[in-house]
């Protein structure tokens, strides 16, 4: 009856166990094939001696649920039959193993029949899609940084970049599973949620050493009702436990730059290969405390790495100015300035210029002799490389106790501390500006994961498992300050706390100085309380359960506290404004040469501080730079609470048909800040409150309409509406997820099965937008300053900051020092909000007030066929439809047809001129949709005759309107919001992460014996060789041609002429590095309201291929001791996988490929000893 009701409701398919256990089931028959009821079945875990018992029912079936993964011994007894013993039955994590038993006539007490424990490869009990990676695969496949996440993309339906062997650190992986976003995956370790509620990505998550892992599984679709939280892939890993035998290992891995190839672009630029040295060492040990009762396991791993490249812009094309050389004499600097802006000759030739900060910065060097602003050396592209380092310590401590035959408890603890010193760190707000070396950032990550479980056998058919988990993730950023601002004549209101230089950004060119967004300390905590009750009743194997997950994230952030000075090129660029003459730049000047137009921000830098006698509105622009500063020191405490209920019934209707039914309910609590220090903006409220004139411009400037703070906000914010909720968004209470699947054997064989499934899945989105809102107006003061040309300069580049750190208090007139801004005009006229005598930037990224939970409908149909012994072919159609996806809308986009700004432009920024950094208001909403269709084929070779292999092919198409969520403060994992933000027309296209075809082949092969004689030395040398490898072949990623000069933010380019194709070119990529596509096909989209005629993602980048290969020599002593010598080649064929080309019309790198996405060939040696 229960199963019938669930079928009517619609229900689920999946693998029928918890995230850390598996299941064994089977049927006992007599020699004629009739079922044997009342047979006694004893299951023994071979490693620990732990036993379970069951009695077959009327249909001869037995089921053991909630089993720890491992090898088992199955013993079956029945009156009148011989005892049957099956050894080495493998039970995998979350999987269902089927092992039927055929009894022989005889005496059970005296006769024993031993049979093989190999079950059919097909999954005849489930329609779930996924792949188990066992200990052999984890241990023997080549992994560039020995991070198990790098094995996740072996499965069909998964897509990711090829791992960059030059990347320093653990090598975190971003993976898209069956058309879902990289933030829609979930990782469980020992059954415990270890995801980052702050980012939703795999970055910085716990990564136990591969030698500590027993196995893990990647479930890609149709997983059962006990699994959820996200709609992408679910990765469940378990660490090892102790056994009745003492076992362990020690290992050492080494790589040295002398053995490696050089990076393609370094070699092309004439730069020798950089450091790439890595040492990794550690060991494991496990065994019994009390035989058959108590066990322990422990491990340690240390890593030391130095790399000449960095995780951010490792090989940076650099061209600050074609005329900047290593001659930094004052005369040379003056010549460069005069050639660019001869109208400023009086200033350039003065003593004031000689003593100016810009002249002193151009002449300054770091202690190692390198210029702060390196030379272009007359080349169109130079290369800059910075050294980065990585250091990690980690250990595991695990214990298991079989209290009695019916109760077992387990406790596992993981600890890791690591520090990456990033040699290059991208500045916030600089577009594609490349960070120059000299300001490394220490990125610190600490992981703590505690998992505890208690399994109780209430009766043979009723088992309960309770799990508790605690996951703690600490991330910290520490920027460096090698130079003092005062030494260059630059003042700052925060100099007492931060005496170093502020950050400098030259838009789309380069940046230097300490990273303004890296100074932070974040603590993310997650608790897991889970209980699962497993009930076996005849043909039904049912599970009931629930989970509670409280989350907490505490943030300390000095965002903007050091200050940032931005040169945008808007002041010096007269294109379309007629201001060249006003700036004293004659028609024949070097500034009008095409090669100098992209470096106009550098011209602004040279002339800063001069008063050329221009009016405050000359050329429509007033300031050579924009500065931004904040008080910093912000502390936030975010919280949310989730809970889940589920029911799952795996109904074995007959030997040939199994139906999986399930229903899951997910409640994802809205995020809130403990003291209400967050904000949102409601466009509809603002539109209703502010009248719009006939010209499309608002009738009222300076209003706070549309801004909200939570109900628990304690500060007085006059004019800001207090919401009735502390989390802005109403809880989404209707997240019911029915799932149904079936596995049917249409032929009289156990080697062919047809599987199909449908399921509804809900996605927990991360807290990043909420966190961003807490550092946005009106709860965080980010103070911009546009210094007028008259009197402007570096002497006082920043506005005063609040006297105290904390949220804006508009009711306190003394909060902001300085003079009143009432009636402000001139250079600050674009900032209408005057708070306590100081104008504050009205900008931010805000969560919408009507967010709903994203969901996906997944469906699949296919078959599995073990066409030869130990080799299976699986072919499936897998598709999905996703709704209510999060996307970000710029509500301050200038697009009105009359040539002014959008209706809310005057409310939020009033900046109508192009080229000047207008302030943005970005709102998250749940309105995007996506679809995915694929053909997935997999050939699996189970270990047989020394060969274990997997080949996965995916032919797919992912389509969406927006491809990702915000994953870190100020940065996104997707392209900008293209097109008209009011309608998003034209945005539905191939997804940013779409890889149309992908083939992955992995294998481990024990070579046959080459010598079978009696000579020990020759036998030891010639035998026990092993090879392994992973090869990936995939199409490139799509990209959009964008316009840099259009007056509509987010504009795509336009075609120069119709009917001439999309601009794609063919041929060897190496011959097209400077013109990958036909750049003449595209022009900038000029004019307000022109969003371009080129569609989104119309071109595709270069295809990619890579092969990693290992040669392994084994020495085995006394069958107990094993020594292993490894030589590993990452990117063995030294293939260069190129990044997508520059995609912005009018920029110097348009159409050019300047970076590689993977490193060169890397060689690594290793030694292991195991016992």
Under a CB-based contact definition with an 8 Å cutoff, are residues 762 and 853 in contact?
yes
Residues with Cβ within 8 Å of residue 308, at least 6 apart in sequence:
257, 273, 274, 275, 276, 385, 386, 387, 388
Per-residue pLDDT, 828: 33
Total domains, the chain: 1
Structure tokens at 79: 């009156």
**Is 776 inside a domain boundary?**
no
CA distances for 237 relative to 122, 218, 815, angstroms: 22, 9, 52
CA distances for 367 relative to 361, 484, 911, angstroms: 14, 13, 42
Per-residue pLDDT, 915: 25
Q: Which residue has the tokens 């997997």?
A: 950
Phi-psi map region of 161: left, alpha, beta (phi>0 left; psi -120 to 50 alpha):
beta
Q: What is the extent of the structural domain holding 97?
A: 17-121
Per-residue pLDDT, 912: 29
User: For residues 118, 124, 130 and 132, what is the CA-based torsion angle, rounded to 10 degrees?
Assistant: -10
Q: Which residue has the tokens 């079945």?
A: 41
Q: What is the pTM of this model?
A: 0.88
Per-residue pLDDT, 717: 65
pLDDT per position as a tens digit, 1045-1079: 544 556 788 888 777 788 999 999 999 999 999 99
**Is 924 inside a domain boundary?**
no
Per-residue pLDDT, 540: 93
Task: Count Cα atoms within 13 angstroms, Cβ side, for 570.
Answer: 23
Under a CB-based contact definition with an 8 Å cutoff, are residues 115 and 75 in contact?
no
* CATH number, domain with residue 32: 2.60.40.1120
pLDDT per position as a tens digit, 999-1011: 999 999 999 988 8
User: How far apart, in whole angstroms, are the C-alpha atoms of residue 808 and residue 852?
Assistant: 30
Residues with Cβ within 8 Å of residue 884, at least 6 apart in sequence:
852, 853, 854, 855, 926, 927, 928
Per-residue pLDDT, 905: 36
Per-residue pLDDT, 423: 80
Structure tokens at 875: 């072919």
Closest CA to 51 of 29, 39, 68: 68
User: Distance from first CA to last CA of the chain, Å, rounded?
Assistant: 53
Structure tokens at 309: 């490249």
Q: Which residue has the tokens 């470096």?
A: 599
Residues with Cβ within 8 Å of residue 1066, at least 6 apart in sequence:
none
Residue 587 burial (CB < 10 Å; 0-12/13-18/19+)?
exposed
**Is 35 inside a domain boundary?**
yes
Alpha helices in 341-407 (DSSP H): 345-348, 351-354, 357-363
Per-residue pLDDT, 10: 31
**Is 780 inside a domain boundary?**
no
> Which ranges of the chain have pLDDT less than 70?
1-18, 108-111, 116-118, 309-322, 376-385, 426-433, 508, 569-599, 609-624, 690-703, 715-719, 784-793, 802-842, 892-920, 965-977, 1044-1050, 1087-1089
Query: Furthest-apart CA pair in the chain: how many Å?
Result: 112
Structure tokens at 327: 């001659």
**Is 321 inside a domain boundary?**
no
**Is 69 inside a domain boundary?**
yes
**Is 30 inside a domain boundary?**
yes
Per-residue pLDDT, 893: 64
Closest CA to 1083 of 1059, 1044, 1040, 1053: 1053
Per-residue pLDDT, 373: 86
Structure tokens at 891: 């509500």
**Is 1156 inside a domain boundary?**
no
């Amino acid at each position: 009856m229960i199963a019938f009701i669930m079928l009517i409701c619609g229900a689920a398919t999946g693998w029928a166990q918890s995230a850390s256990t598996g299941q064994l089931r089977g049927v006992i028959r007599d020699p004629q094939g009739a079922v044997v009821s009342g047979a006694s079945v004893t299951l023994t875990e071979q490693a620990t001696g732990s036993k379970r018992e069951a009695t077959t029912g009327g249909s001869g079936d037995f089921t053991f649920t909630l089993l720890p993964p491992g090898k088992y011994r199955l013993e079956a007894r029945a009156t009148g039959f011989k005892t049957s013993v099956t050894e080495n039955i493998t039970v995998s994590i979350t999987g269902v193993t089927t092992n039927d038993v055929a009894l022989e006539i005889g005496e059970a007490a005296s006769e024993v029949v031993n049979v093989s424990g190999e079950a059919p490869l097909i999954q005849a009990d489930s329609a779930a899609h996924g792949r188990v990676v066992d200990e052999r695969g984890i241990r023997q496949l080549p992994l560039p940084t020995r991070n198990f996440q790098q094995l996740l993309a072996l499965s069909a339906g998964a897509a990711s970049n090829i791992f960059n062997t030059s990347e320093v650190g653990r090598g975190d992986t971003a993976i898209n599973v069956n058309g879902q976003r990289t933030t829609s995956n979930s990782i469980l370790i020992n059954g415990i949620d270890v995801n980052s509620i702050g980012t939703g990505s795999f970055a910085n998550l716990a990564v136990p050493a591969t030698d500590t892992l027993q196995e893990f599984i990647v479930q890609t679709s149709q997983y059962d009702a006990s699994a959820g939280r996200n709609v992408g892939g679910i990765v469940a890993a378990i660490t090892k436990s102790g056994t009745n035998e003492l076992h362990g290992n020690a290992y050492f891995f080494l790589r040295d730059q002398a053995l490696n190839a050089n990076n393609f672009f370094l070699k092309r630029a004439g730069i020798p290969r950089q450091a790439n040295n890595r040492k990794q060492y550690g060991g494991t040990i496990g065994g019994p405390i009390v035989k058959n009762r108590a066990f322990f396991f422990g491990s340690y791993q240390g890593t030391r790495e130095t790399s000449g490249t960095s995780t951010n812009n490792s090989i940076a094309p650099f061209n600050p100015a074609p005329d900047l050389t290593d001659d930094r004499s004052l005369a040379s600097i003056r010549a460069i300035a005069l050639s660019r802006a001869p109208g400023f000759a009086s200033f350039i030739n003065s003593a004031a210029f000689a003593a100016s900060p810009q002249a002193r910065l151009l002449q300054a060097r770091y202690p190692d002799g390198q210029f702060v602003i390196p030379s272009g050396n007359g080349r169109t592209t130079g290369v800059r490389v910075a050294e980065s380092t990585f250091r990690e310590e980690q250990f595991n401590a695990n214990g298991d106790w079989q209290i009695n035959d019916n109760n077992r408890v387990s406790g596992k603890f993981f600890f890791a501390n690591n520090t990456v010193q990033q040699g290059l760190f991208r500045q916030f707000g600089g577009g594609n500006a490349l960070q120059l070396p000299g300001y490394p950032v220490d990125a610190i990550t600490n992981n703590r994961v505690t998992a505890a479980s208690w399994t109780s056998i209430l009766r043979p058919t009723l088992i309960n498992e309770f799990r508790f988990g605690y996951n703690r993730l600490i991330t910290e950023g520490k920027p460096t300050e090698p130079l003092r601002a005062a030494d260059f004549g630059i003042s700052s209101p925060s100099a007492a706390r931060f005496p170093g230089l502020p950050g400098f950004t030259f838009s789309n060119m380069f940046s230097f100085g300490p990273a303004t967004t890296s100074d932070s300390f974040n603590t993310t905590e997650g608790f897991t309380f889970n209980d699962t009750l497993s009930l076996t009743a005849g043909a039904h194997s049912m599970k009931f359960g629930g989970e509670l997950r409280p989350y907490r994230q505490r943030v300390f952030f000095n965002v903007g506290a050091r200050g940032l000075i931005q040169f945008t090129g808007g002041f010096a660029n007269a294109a379309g404004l007629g201001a060249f003459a006003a700036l004293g730049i004659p028609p024949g000047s070097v500034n009008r040469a095409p090669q100098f137009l992209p470096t106009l921000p550098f011209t602004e830098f040279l002339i800063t501080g001069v008063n050329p006698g221009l009016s405050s509105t000359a050329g429509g622009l007033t300031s050579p730079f924009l500065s931004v500063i904040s008080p910093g020191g912000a502390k936030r405490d975010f919280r949310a609470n989730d809970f889940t209920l589920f029911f799952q019934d795996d109904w074995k209707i007959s030997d040939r048909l199994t139906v999986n039914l399930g229903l899951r309910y997910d409640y994802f609590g809205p995020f809130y800040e403990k003291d209400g220090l967050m904000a949102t903006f409601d466009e509809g409220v603002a539109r209703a409150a502010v009248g719009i004139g006939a010209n499309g411009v608002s009738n009222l400037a300076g209003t706070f309409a549309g801004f909200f703070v939570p109900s628990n906000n304690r500060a007085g914010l006059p004019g800001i509406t207090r919401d009735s909720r502390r989390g802005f968004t109403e809880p989404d209470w209707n997240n019911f997820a029915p799932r149904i699947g079936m596995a049917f054997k249409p032929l009289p064989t156990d080697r062919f099965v047809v599987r199909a499934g449908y399921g509804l899945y809900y996605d927990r989105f991360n807290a990043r937008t909420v966190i961003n809102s807490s550092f946005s107006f009106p709860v965080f003061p980010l103070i911009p300053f546009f210094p007028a040309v008259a009197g402007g300069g570096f002497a006082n580049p920043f506005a005063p900051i609040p006297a105290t750190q904390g949220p804006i208090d508009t009711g306190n007139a003394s909060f902001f020092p300085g003079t009143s801004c009432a009636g402000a005009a001139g250079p600050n006229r674009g900032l209408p909000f005057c708070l306590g005598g100081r104008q504050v930037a009205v900008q931010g990224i805000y969560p919408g007030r009507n967010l709903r939970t994203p969901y996906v409908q997944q469906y699949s149909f296919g078959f599995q066929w073990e066409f030869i012994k130990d080799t299976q072919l699986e072919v499936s159609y897998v598709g999905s439809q996703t709704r209510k996806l999060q996307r970000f809308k710029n509500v301050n986009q200038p697009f009105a047809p009359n040539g002014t700004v959008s209706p809310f432009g005057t409310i939020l920024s009033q900046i109508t001129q192009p080229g000047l950094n207008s302030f943005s208001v970005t709102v998250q909403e749940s309105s995007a949709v996506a679809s995915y269709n694929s053909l997935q084929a997999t050939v699996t070779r189970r270990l047989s005759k020394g060969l274990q292999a997997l080949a996965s092919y995916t032919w797919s198409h992912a389509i969406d309107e927006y491809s990702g969520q915000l994953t870190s403060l100020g940065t996104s994992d997707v392209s900008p919001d293209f097109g008209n933000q009011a309608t998003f027309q034209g945005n539905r296209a191939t997804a940013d992460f779409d890889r149309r075809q992908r083939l992955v082949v992995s294998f481990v092969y024990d070579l046959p014996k080459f010598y079978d004689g009696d000579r020990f030395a020759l036998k030891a040398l010639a035998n026990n060789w092993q090879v392994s490898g992973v090869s990936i072949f995939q199409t490139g990623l799509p990209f959009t041609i964008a316009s840099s000069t259009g007056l509509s933010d987010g504009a795509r380019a336009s075609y120069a002429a119709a009917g001439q194709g999309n601009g794609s070119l063919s041929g060897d990529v190496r011959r097209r590095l400077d013109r990958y596509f036909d750049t003449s096909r595209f022009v900038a989209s000029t004019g307000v309201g022109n969003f371009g005629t080129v569609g989104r993602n119309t071109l595709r980048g270069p295809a990619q291929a890579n092969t990693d290969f290992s040669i392994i020599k084994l020495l085995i002593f006394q069958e107990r001791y094993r020594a292993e010598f490894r030589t590993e080649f990452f990117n063995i064929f030294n293939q260069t996988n190129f990044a997508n080309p520059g995609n912005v019309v009018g920029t110097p790198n348009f159409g050019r490929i300047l970076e590689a996405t993977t490193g060169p060939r890397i060689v690594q040696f290793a030694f292991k000893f195991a016992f």
